[in-house]
């Protein structure tokens, strides 16, 4: 096993433990994947194993057509969803899928998370749309997710959960967390009149600022 494969597997284990600790996932629900740099391969969580129990050798390494290259367990049933995103979004290097509480509330109501707060717009690129309902584990779920992900880094899967996509798993964790907070605050704001959405122009400015100017450079 190459060092790159080992590092990708370690990142998946660390990410699983963190999102589990943050209560963004329960048991083995949800899944995590990452591209292996400069290879047409991804590492993805194995199917049905609690995040605390995943060992490095369990994590399947898969090519972009879905063939198992290495690992002693079968991949997450959402492999077709992850591969459909990687095959259509070359900018995406990492994916986290969760069934977190507030995002699932939005998912079952089939309501987008509005573009109402700076952090959400900066990190996602605008509102978080809801994709058309398709059964879990199907390619069709991936096709609909890709459509609703256009120009965004997150999408709500109808009656299911959230997908966050990013350049690395650290950013994907941040997106998952900010979406969950935004879904929560969106629901709270309904008690006091509901959220006010920002204009496309303001959204564009906020995203551009985050990508090109935010933080230490």
Any idea which residues carry the catalytic annotation? 78
Burial of residue 149 (CB within 10 Å: 0-12, 13-18, 19+) is: buried
Burial of residue 191 (CB within 10 Å: 0-12, 13-18, 19+) is: exposed
**Selected range binding Zn ion among 49-57, 117-125, 156-164, 181-189, rule: CB under 5 A:** 156-164
Would you tell me how many other CB atoms lie within 10 Å of the CB of residue 151? 9
Shortest-Cβ-distance residue relative to Zn ion: 161
Smallest separation, CB 4 to Zn ion (Å)? 27
Give the contacts of 86 (CB within 8 A, at least 6 positions apart): 33, 35, 42, 64, 92, 95
d(CA 47, CA 192): 42
d(CA 130, CA 154): 10
Smallest separation, CB 97 to Zn ion (Å)? 6
d(CA 186, CA 77): 31
**Selected range binding Zn ion among 36-44, 69-77, 155-163, 180-188, rule: CB under 5 A:** 155-163
Closer Cβ to Zn ion, 60 or 161, answer by number? 161
Closer Cβ to Zn ion, 46 or 161, answer by number? 161
**Selected range binding Zn ion among 13-21, 153-161, 165-173, 190-198, rule: CB under 5 A:** 153-161
Extended strands (E) in 78-123:
94-98
Smallest separation, CB 30 to Zn ion (Å)? 6
Smallest separation, CB 158 to Zn ion (Å)? 12
Number of residues that bind Zn ion (CB under 5 A): 1
Closer Cβ to Zn ion, 133 or 205, answer by number? 133
Binding site for Zn ion (CB under 5 A): 161
């Amino acid at each position: 096993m190459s060092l790159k494969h080992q590092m990708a597997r370690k990142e998946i284990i660390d990410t699983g433990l963190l999102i589990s600790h943050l209560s963004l996932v329960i048991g083995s629900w949800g899944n995590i994947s990452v591209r292996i740099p400069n290879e047409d391969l991804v590492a993805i969580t194995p199917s049905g194993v609690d995040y605390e129990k995943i060992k490095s050798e369990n994590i399947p390494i898969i090519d972009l057509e879905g063939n198992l290259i290495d690992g002693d367990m079968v991949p997450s049933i959402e492999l077709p969803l992850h591969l459909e995103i990687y095959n259509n979004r070359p900018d995406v290097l990492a994916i986290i899928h969760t069934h977190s509480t507030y995002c699932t509330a939005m998912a079952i109501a089939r309501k987008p998370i509005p573009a109402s707060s700076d952090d959400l717009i900066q990190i996602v690129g605008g509102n978080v749309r809801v994709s058309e309902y398709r059964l879990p584990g199907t390619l069709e779920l991936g096709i609909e997710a890709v459509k609703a992900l256009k120009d965004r880094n997150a999408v709500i899967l109808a009656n299911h959960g959230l997908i966050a996509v990013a350049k690395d798993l650290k950013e994907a964790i941040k997106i998952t967390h900010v979406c969950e907070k935004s879904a929560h605050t969106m629901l709270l704001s309904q008690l006091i009149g509901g959220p006010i959405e920002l204009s496309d122009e303001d959204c564009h400015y906020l995203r551009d600022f985050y990508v090109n100017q935010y933080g230490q450079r």
